[in-house]
Structure formats: structure tokens, C-alpha cells
Amino acid sequence: MKLTPTKSCGGVIVVHNYGGSKEEMLGLALRIAKTGFTTGVIDLRGHGENSLLMDEKVLLDLETTLTFFKQFGKVTVVGHSLGGRLALISSADHAIAISPAISKKFSPKTQEMIRNLRDYRVKRSEIDLFTIMGDIPQLEHDPENVLIVYGSRDVPEIISECEKLVTEGYEVFKVDNALHVDIYTLEPTFEAVINKLQEWY
């Protein structure tokens, strides 16, 4: 789905989390489009209307969309959780990762929570999400092309990894009282994302 402003200054692709869908990201996408960016939202394989099974080739869905969006100029990927991880390893010019799932390992408690609350929303192959997460890279963008946003009440592994990125020179913005499941719907997140896009473009 593509949102096109009257005058576009570049392209932005918004990517959902594991078990999410493009419809859930429309609020964020609309806010971005209103500031002058041609904005797309996609269903990753195994999610929403994408008929492919979720597997280790999930990054291809984003890269295919990126190829299309390059006609609008520079492209930024804004992703939440799994989408944030994919943003950080994509070929986009810039990446904004909201609560990115960049840890290589997740605790048994976190894994159980995700399987109980998210697996039923995904059409997946036999390959487990955590196997996929362990196999794909964590971060491949230079710090000047990245913004990390996370919540003060986020998943413990995400908080830990985001705090580490501060010491590595990445710009990291913490949203007070935000949970993993609502951070991409909150005004401070919208403002952080839009301000950074305007700075880059």
C-alpha cells in the first residue's frame, strides 16, 4: 500500500513486527506521508495478505519494495521489532528502528511469550523465528544513518541491546512508559521519527 503526498521529498517504507500487518502500521505511515514523503506499508511473508510462508528469506520482501521505492529518491525504512531488525540490515539509505529485535538470543520467557501471543498470527514454514533471528545480521548501517527508538517498559533484551548502541555512537531515543506493543502508536515516537526524517532530507 502506498501513500502519496502532493509533493514528495523522498521515500519511506514502514515495516511491521512479527505477527503484525501493514494495517497496524498505517497510523505511523500516514503521519510520515503528511510530512511530504511517499510512504509504503508492506506485509512481510507469512503476514497479512502476503501468501508466502515466513522463512529465512524475509528480508527479500523489504528489498523488493526498496527497489521500487528508489524512484522517489532517497529511501528510509522505518521498522518495528522484527521490522526494525530488517531496517537495520536493509540496503536503504537510512534506517529508523523502533524497538528493534537485534538480540541474537532471547530468554526462554521471551520466547514463550512470543510463541503464545504472536505465532498464531503468522503463516510460517518449519523454520522457527528465533532460528531466523540467530542467522540474519544484526546491524549493517553506519551510525549517522540510523535512529534507534525504544520504550522504557520494552522487552528486557531490547532495552539492553539499545543501551549498548549508545556506547557505539548510535543515536538512541527512549520513550518513557512505552511498551513494546504500543510504542509505534505514541506521539513521542511519531515526533522522533518525523524530526529525524526531516533532518536527513
- Could you read off the pLDDT of 96-149 as tens digits, one per residue? 999 999 988 888 998 898 889 999 999 988 888 888 888 888 888 899 999 999
pLDDT at 135: 85
pLDDT at 184: 97
**φ, ψ dihedrals at 12, nearest 5°:** -135, 135
Q: What is the DSSP string of the chain?
A: -EE--SS-S-EEEEE--TT--GGGGHHHHHHHHHTT-EEEEEPPTTSTT--SPB-TTTHHHHHHHHHHHGGGSSEEEEEETHHHHHHHHSS-SEEEEES----S---HHHHHHHHHHTGGG--B-SS-HHHHHHHS-S--S-GGGEEEEEEEES-HHHHHHHHHHHHTT-EEEEEEEEETTTGGGSHHHHHHHHHHHHHH-
pLDDT at 38: 97
pLDDT at 105: 83
Q: Is pLDDT of 78 > 90?
A: yes
- Could you read off the pLDDT of 155-180 as tens digits, one per residue? 999 999 999 999 999 999 999 999 99
75 residue type, one letter? V
In order of their start, the domains of the chain are 2-191 (3.40.50.1820)
How far is residue 52's CA from residue 71's CA, in Å, rounded to a whole number?
Answer: 26
Q: Is pLDDT of 26 > 90?
A: yes
